[in-house]
Amino acid sequence: MSVVRLELEGRLAVVTIDNPPVNALSQAVRAGIVRAVDEAEDAGADAIVLCCAGRTFVAGADIREFGKPPKPPWLPEVIARIEACRRPVVAAIHGTTLGGGLELALGCHYRIAVPTARVGFPEVNLGLIPGSGGTQRLPRLVGAERALDMMISGKPVGAVEAARVGVIDRLAESGDLLDEAMGFAREQASGGERPRLIRDLSVDPVDPGFFSDYRKRIARRTRGLMSPERIVRCVEAALQVPIDEALRQEREHFFECMASPQSSALRHLFFAERQAVKPPPGVSPAAGGPEITHIAVIGAGTMGAGIAYSCLGVGFRVTVLDYDEAGLARGRKTIEGLYEGGVARGKVSPAKAEDGLGRLTTSQDYGAVANADLVIEAVFESMAVKEQVFARLDRVCRADTILATNTSTLDVDRIAQATGRPEKVIGTHFFSPAHIMRLVEIVRGDATGDAVIISALALAKRLRKVGVVVGNCFGFVGNRMLYGYGRESQLLLLEGAAPEQIDGALQEWGMAMGPHAVGDLAGLDVGYSVRRERTDLPDDPRFYRMADVLVEAGRLGRKTGKGMYRYESGSRAPIPDPEVESWIAREADALGVERRAIDAQEIVERCIYGLIVEGARILEEGIASRSGDIDVVWVNGYGFPRHRGGPMHYADTIGVDKIYARVCEFRDRFGPMYWEVPNLLEDLGRSGGKFADFKPGA
């Protein structure tokens, strides 16, 4: 069956793209559009309607062609053919019209859309720019500033707003898009005038300093990124040179971005995130658990309230249980405050807030959670406390109830042993703040059943989060690796690097925050408590020495106004503290650590390569099913820069052989305690392999 078909309705031609699931612009679709337009003209059609079957107009490029040389006809050639058509061509838009789909629509002479449609240019999220005229046609319709905002944010806009600013010519209000599109096309044909071409329009002039000011405005949120600057240059060209020259420059910038490591990294994440949310090898996708409608959350603290709010927001009934009446009151107040904030920002309607709070109950009685389909424990990070909670849940909950722990580090198998149903126990490690962070580590224990894993993945998807299935060990994937990263940042302090120097080097490299600022934000006492739970800490007095010293001195971070940095009242800005620097020097002297000047390159390499080394061990042990899963965890949970693709992809980009050689240098220089080379890293380093090609257990 052809993916593009032509039908004649009297003297009107209807060209329908039918390439499920999202009508992507594959080579067959592109060729089919050109052929259909040729045939429509040959048949003497007065006008052409371009529409799509299924749930959406063209939602973008065919992802199977990403990174491959494009096959003719290229999309610019398809658009040029439509523009050259002597009869009006109307795009009939529904669903999500994104990227190349919107460029195709802008190449048509007119656009009609249902009010629920959305349009946009998300290419920046893949390190790309609109490369088929989008940077030139959009400014001609909406002006330079609005076009830049749309393309650099990557966020789609609704059809009503698109019509208001001129992207859409008419809204189809009757509910029959094709019928209204055909009527619109006949109207345009009846006038006998030459069809309007967006390329013939001019861009409204801007103030002389506009582009300079715009670059300053976006500098912080586009730090280190390549494609936003290329988009700005293309829109500049739209005002400065003829459109054919501007289109040539756009295409040049597009291919420059496509060939860049940044786009490679972002495209890697695009695929890795889609792979990560699928059942891991060995887990049957057909396994089905109980339908989840009622969720219980144990613990009304910040994390429990955030999880409860997330569940309420997608329609679950939620019961929050806590042993303390005052704690329950605080938890309810937190949830109410989150709803109030959502309403104030226009993210949640008052009706939805009222509905959500209407599905919330609180209790101190375990009997209130007896009939929950899923229980998520979010109590203090103590094995003894969690064992008590799970033993109690095992006694009161239905036999088919799934019992999930929000532990960030503790042994899920040991927690499961507190119950008589280990096959129903799983880890669901939410990240704080739970209502904002996208990541959930789904921790499978030795006995966790396939149906429970499938249910946890479905829950994450419904919560609009990225659920990544990982194995059970201390810290799982994210926090286990964090110890390598944090360990090096702590050792670097003793060796001579100041906290602000370490944080500055890693932020400049691309991390969202430096490790010491993150520690202060999270609370230094959190990590301190976790380390007290561990029995496998290295026999090294330097290990997290400064973090321990600060906690024991009452400096817990932002919440006490002092941590690794100090904080002035009402300010979140970290201020270097000479007292901390003197304490670091004192501790280094007591430990016999010789202090020296340390450059930014060593700081970055030791911290990031520390991540990679631990990631290699995690892959060796089968804790992660794929190197891409590790990348998804670190990008979505720990502020690793998306444009570097995650630690394992970054290693592949640098070259695993180069990483291996540098780690060997660190081992020889600092000793094998932390820099012993994992077998996988050595094997790949010697063979020229990549982490992306490694399959645990293969």
Residues of the chain with pLDDT under 70: 1, 67, 697-698
pLDDT digits (tens, 9 = 90+) for 489-523: 999 999 999 999 999 999 999 999 999 999 999 99
Q: What is the model's pLDDT at position 698?
A: 60
Q: Looking at the annotation, which residues are catalytic?
A: 103, 123
Which residue is it, tokens 């720990």? 638
Strands 360-363 and 374-377: unpaired
CB atoms within 10 A of CB 670: 14
Which residue is it, tokens 């561990």? 534
Q: What is the model's pLDDT at position 52?
A: 98
> Which residue type does 145 have?
E
Q: String of b and e for 292-308 (b: at least 16 CB within 10 Å)?
A: bebbbbbbbeebbbbbb
Q: Which two tokens stand for residue 103?
A: 């460029």
Domains, the chain, ordered by start: 4-258 (3.90.226.10), 294-470 (3.40.50.720), 478-693 (1.10.1040.50)
CA distance 443 to 167: 46
Strands 4-9 and 12-17: antiparallel
pLDDT digits (tens, 9 = 90+) for 156-193: 999 999 999 999 999 998 889 999 999 999 999 998 78
CA distance 694 to 620: 9
| Percent of the chain residues topping a pLDDT of 90 | 93
pLDDT digits (tens, 9 = 90+) for 627-677: 999 999 999 999 999 999 999 999 999 999 999 999 999 999 999 999 999
* Dihedral angle, C-alpha 266, 267, 268, 269, nearest 10 °: 60
